[in-house]
Structure 1
Amino acid sequence: MLIIPAENAINWKRPPWVTLGLMMACVMVFLFYQGADDRKLDAAIEQYLDGNLLALEAPAYEDYLQREIRFEGDQQSVLELQEFQALREQDEQGWQAVTLLFDRDYYQYLQDNRDLIWSVAERNQWSEQRGAIEEQWISRMSAFQLGLVPSDLSLYTLITYQFLHGGWGHIIGNLLFLFLLGFTVERALGPGKFLVAYLVCGALSGLVFTGFSMGSQIPLVGASGSISGLMGMYVAIYGLQKIRFFYFLGVYFNYFRAPAIAMLPVWLGKEIYDYWFAGATGIAYMAHAGGLLAGAALVWLLGKSWLQVKEEFFEPEPEQQDEQFTRGYAQAMASVGRMEFDLARRQFEALRENYPDRTVLLEHLYQLAKLRPDLPEYRDLARTLMADAMNRRQPEQMLDVWNEYLSKGEAHHPLAVEDHNRVLFTSLKNHDLKAAEKAFERMRLKAEPDMVQEACRLLLAEFEKLQMEPKARHYRQLLRG
């Protein structure tokens, strides 16, 4: 059964560049660095068979597995012995050579017991020829150069092993999960912190794997530990919030919703169970478990400081915002239709808090306030709508609101001198001299003399330009008087 989170959709207007970069790095390493492994493997097999090492090692390998079965009770060794004996019966020398070359625990067993296994001549032959193969080919393969080998742990391999993979199936599966999880966590943390957290989770995952595989010479490769860290971070970021999960069981798949953090013990329990009971599948279960714990722990320990989630992460995407706005707007309009004006006003105000740039909400609030022109809210909304129209460069709407307010609300709560002055300047810019004069008459009653004279000069200049002498004469007299 496979369960993965599926709460978010990717926004290609803000691509997850670091996630995509990590995927590209894994592909490039696989193609151009690990691509040379096949040639090295072929050379190692050819040299191994030419040196007649198979005749020396095959009987010893069967004895080694039988000892594991007899003294350790290792049931996995029973399967390995049966498979190897089948290869010998079919005379599959190439696959026998692969098995013997890459069973690193067996190679260590030969090094420790070669004096007991072979005669002096056989021992010398084996040491010389097998040592040459190890030095020339095996040690130069990517997994042994940059993979994480528990018996020979190096700090740099805690990073480099995350970019190596064991085959096309391995890399495709890992990159799919990296993409599905990475774009969400990258959006939550930001590119730089996401990259550091990803690599740290991979390193901690490698350390946990090393702790449970102490002394092993089998190298660990792959990004699955780092990706498990992303899974841990993902559910820790959402915490108790219910999110969608996709599950796949056989041929059946579907979605379900659950508190995000509830999935952490499920995933963790599955990895630990498989570690103890799944047998030798080649999957690093404890690396996965370590990554899960590392990712969740990083968010819990540093989530209020260095690894704090960006505030805008929890904001809905534009498509979701549009859907929420449409739903809320329809509810408010329904209240207007039922003549529940107080409820509609509260609904429009709540919408405007979340969508301050939606002018239509301000216009509806203005229309509702107009029902009670005796209240100061009508004046405040008229001024706000006038200013909004100015910002949107719609002077006609500003003048319409101003004229309407003069007829309905001015008697109750007069506009300020500055409001009339703005209308005057806007009217002059739009060559609406009638509205400009009307605004001038309103402001001259209360404005400071300097403001009145400046407005008077502007009107005089405009009428002189249009050669409207009677009007120009009127404003000259006002300036003198």
Structure 2
Amino acid sequence: MLIIPAENAINWKRPPWVTLGLIMACLLVFLFYQGGDSRKLEQAVEQYLAADLYELEAPAYEDYLQRQIQFQGEESRVYELQQFQQLRQENENFWLAINLMMDREFYQYLLQNRDVIWAPAERAHWQEQRSAIEQEYLQKLSANQLGLVPADLSLYTLITYQFLHGGWGHIIGNLIFLFLLGFTVEKALGPGRYLIAYLVCGALSGLMFTAVSAGSYVPLVGASGSISGLMGMYVAIYGLQKIRFFYFLGVYFNYFRAPAIALLPVWVGKEIYDYWYAGATGIAYMAHAGGLIAGAGLVWLLGKSWLQVREEFFEPEEEEQDARFTTGYAQAMASLGRMEFDLARRQFEALREHYPERPILLEHLYHLAKLRPDLPQYRDRARELMNDALGRRQPEQTIAIWQEYLAKGEPHHPLTAEDHNRVLFSSLKQHDLKAAEKAFERLRSTGDELLTTEACRLLAEEFEKRQMTPKARHYQQVLEAAHF
């Protein structure tokens, strides 16, 4: 049974660049670095068979497997023994050589027991040939160089093993899950913290695997521990919030909703159960369990500090926001149509709190306030709309609103000198000299000496540039004679 979270859809307007980068890094490593493994292995098999090492190791391997089954209770190795015996009967020497060389625990067994297994001449021949194969080929395989080997743990391999994979099926499966989970966690944490958390989860997952496989020479490769960490972070981020999960059982699949964190013990329990009862599948179940616990633990420990989820993560997607806005806007317009102006004003104000970037809402509020020009709300909305128009580089709208307010609202609640000064500048940008002169007269009437002096000087210079001498002389005289 497969259960994965499916709460979010990807927003390609803001691509998950780190997740895509991790996917690309794994693919490049697999294609260009690990791509040479098959050739090295073929050369190792050729030399192994040419040296007749198979004749020496095959009987020892059967005895080794029987000891594992009899004395260590590893019933899972019964199937391996049967398969090996069948290969011997069918003379499948190539695959026999692969099995013998790639079983790293068996190689350690041979090193420890070579004096007992073979006579001196056979032992010398084995040691010479096998050591050469190990050094020339096997130790140069990607899994042995950069994979995580519990018996020979290196700090750098806690990172490098996350980018290696065992085959096309392994890497495709991992990268699909990396994409499905990664884009959501990256959106929640931000690119930098997400990348660090991903690598830390992989490292902690590797340490968990090392702890339960102490002394093992079988290398661990793959991003599944890191991806399990993403699953742990995913459900810890949502906590008790109910989210959608996709499940696949046999040929049946569907969705269900449940508290996110409720799935964590289910996933961890499944990995631990499979570790004990699934047999020799080659899957690092405890690495998965370690990743799940590490991911959730990081969010719980650091979720209010370094790994704090970004506020915008919980905001609705653009499509959902548009749908909500459309519904609310239609309701407010319906209230206008019924002439329920107070209700419409409250609805537009509520919409503006959630969608402050939509200028149409401010325009509606301005027109509603204009119904009562004797109230100060009209002046406040007019000033807001004028400033908004300036911010959107629409000086002509600023001038139009100002002129309308002079006719309706100015007698009740006059604008300030700063308001008239902004209109004067906007008028000059629009080459509307008539409006600029009118703004100057309004500014002059406020009694603000500093702004009036500067505005008068600006008008004089502007008319001078345009070679409108009478006008320029007029404002120069006003400037010289005025005692603001």
TM-score, length basis structure 1? 0.88
Q: Which moved more, 1:454-463 or 1:59-68?
A: 454-463
Which residue does the alignment assign to 1:174?
Answer: 174
Q: Is 1:116 aligned with 2:145?
A: no
Q: Is 1:39 aligned with 2:31?
A: no
1:59-115 deviations in Å (ceiling 9; x for gaps): 332233233333333321221122112212222111122112222222333333334
Which residue does the alignment assign to 2:102?
Answer: 102
Which residue does the alignment assign to 1:54?
Answer: 54
Amino acid at match of 2:347: Q
What is the root-mean-square deviation in Å for CA atoms of aligned residues?
3.1
Distance 1:227 1:372 in 2: 61
Distance 2:343 2:62 in 1: 84
1:181-260 alignment runs, 5 A limit: 181-260=181-260
Which residue does the alignment assign to 2:84?
Answer: 84
1:317-376 deviations in Å (ceiling 9; x for gaps): 444433332233223223323433333222222222232221101011112222333321
Which residue does the alignment assign to 1:158?
Answer: 158
Amino acid at match of 2:117: I
Cα gap change, 1:131/1:381 in structure 2, threshold over 3 Å: closer, same or farther? same
Cα gap change, 1:34/1:436 in structure 2, threshold over 3 Å: closer, same or farther? closer
Which residue does the alignment assign to 1:360?
Answer: 360
Distance 1:167 1:133 in 2: 23
1:365-444 alignment runs, 5 A limit: 365-427=365-427, 430=430, 432=432, 435-436=435-436, 438-439=438-439, 442-444=442-444
Which residue does the alignment assign to 1:300?
Answer: 300
Q: Is the 8 A contact 1:332 1:344 kept in 2?
A: yes
Q: Is the 8 A contact 2:456 2:475 kept in 1?
A: no
Amino acid at match of 1:401: I
CA shift for structure 1 position 421: 4.3
Q: Is the 8 A contact 2:185 2:194 kept in 1?
A: yes
1:296-335 alignment runs, 5 A limit: 296-335=296-335
1:136-158 deviations in Å (ceiling 9; x for gaps): 32222221121111112122221
Distance 2:141 2:327 in 1: 60
1:167-223 deviations in Å (ceiling 9; x for gaps): 111112112222222233233333332222222211111110011111111111111
Distance 1:112 1:462 in 2: 98
Amino acid at match of 1:62: E
CA shift for structure 1 position 301: 1.5
Q: Is the 8 A contact 2:76 2:280 kept in 1?
A: yes
Q: Which runs of 5 or more residues in structure 1 are unaligned?
A: none
Which residue does the alignment assign to 1:142?
Answer: 142
Distance 2:300 2:335 in 1: 44
Which residue does the alignment assign to 1:345?
Answer: 345
Which residue does the alignment assign to 2:264?
Answer: 264
Cα gap change, 1:404/1:215 in structure 2, threshold over 3 Å: closer, same or farther? same
Q: Is the 8 A contact 1:232 1:294 kept in 2?
A: yes
1:256-295 deviations in Å (ceiling 9; x for gaps): 3333222222221221111111111100010011111111
Amino acid at match of 1:264: L
Q: Is the 8 A contact 1:275 1:285 kept in 2?
A: yes
1:363-411 deviations in Å (ceiling 9; x for gaps): 1111222233332111111121122223333344333323333343333
Q: Is the 8 A contact 2:459 2:475 kept in 1?
A: no
Distance 1:52 1:84 in 2: 17
Cα gap change, 1:141/1:428 in structure 2, threshold over 3 Å: closer, same or farther? closer
Cα gap change, 1:339/1:99 in structure 2, threshold over 3 Å: closer, same or farther? same
Which residue does the alignment assign to 1:66?
Answer: 66
Q: Is the 8 A contact 1:460 1:476 kept in 2?
A: no
Distance 2:298 2:63 in 1: 47
Distance 2:120 2:234 in 1: 59
Cα gap change, 1:64/1:411 in structure 2, threshold over 3 Å: closer, same or farther? same
Cα gap change, 1:101/1:441 in structure 2, threshold over 3 Å: closer, same or farther? closer
Cα gap change, 1:99/1:341 in structure 2, threshold over 3 Å: closer, same or farther? same
Q: Is the 8 A contact 1:457 1:479 kept in 2?
A: no
3-state secondary structure, aligned to 1:75? coil
Q: Is 1:285 aligned with 2:254?
A: no
Aligned residues: 481
Amino acid at match of 1:42: E
Q: Is the 8 A contact 1:204 1:291 kept in 2?
A: yes
Cα gap change, 1:2/1:334 in structure 2, threshold over 3 Å: closer, same or farther? farther
Amino acid at match of 1:165: H
Distance 2:481 2:20 in 1: 74
Distance 2:339 2:20 in 1: 53
Cα gap change, 1:76/1:449 in structure 2, threshold over 3 Å: closer, same or farther? closer
3-state secondary structure, aligned to 1:257? strand
CA shift for structure 1 position 432: 4.8
Distance 1:215 1:477 in 2: 96
Cα gap change, 1:383/1:151 in structure 2, threshold over 3 Å: closer, same or farther? same
Cα gap change, 1:413/1:99 in structure 2, threshold over 3 Å: closer, same or farther? same
Cα gap change, 1:390/1:217 in structure 2, threshold over 3 Å: closer, same or farther? closer
3-state secondary structure, aligned to 1:3? strand
Amino acid at match of 2:85: Q
Q: Which moved more, 1:108-117 or 1:76-85?
A: 108-117
- The sequence identity of aligned pairs, in percent, is 74
3-state secondary structure, aligned to 1:74? coil
Distance 1:370 1:193 in 2: 50
Q: Is the 8 A contact 1:456 1:479 kept in 2?
A: no
Cα gap change, 1:142/1:372 in structure 2, threshold over 3 Å: closer, same or farther? same
Distance 1:430 1:256 in 2: 60
Q: Is the 8 A contact 1:453 1:479 kept in 2?
A: no
Q: Is the 8 A contact 2:461 2:472 kept in 1?
A: no
Amino acid at match of 1:241: Q
Distance 2:135 2:478 in 1: 107
Distance 1:401 1:25 in 2: 56
Distance 1:89 1:36 in 2: 31
Q: Which moved more, 1:386-395 or 1:168-177?
A: 386-395
Distance 1:462 1:139 in 2: 82
Cα gap change, 1:477/1:194 in structure 2, threshold over 3 Å: closer, same or farther? closer
3-state secondary structure, aligned to 2:365? helix
Which residue does the alignment assign to 2:276?
Answer: 276
Cα gap change, 1:49/1:427 in structure 2, threshold over 3 Å: closer, same or farther? closer
3-state secondary structure, aligned to 1:222? coil
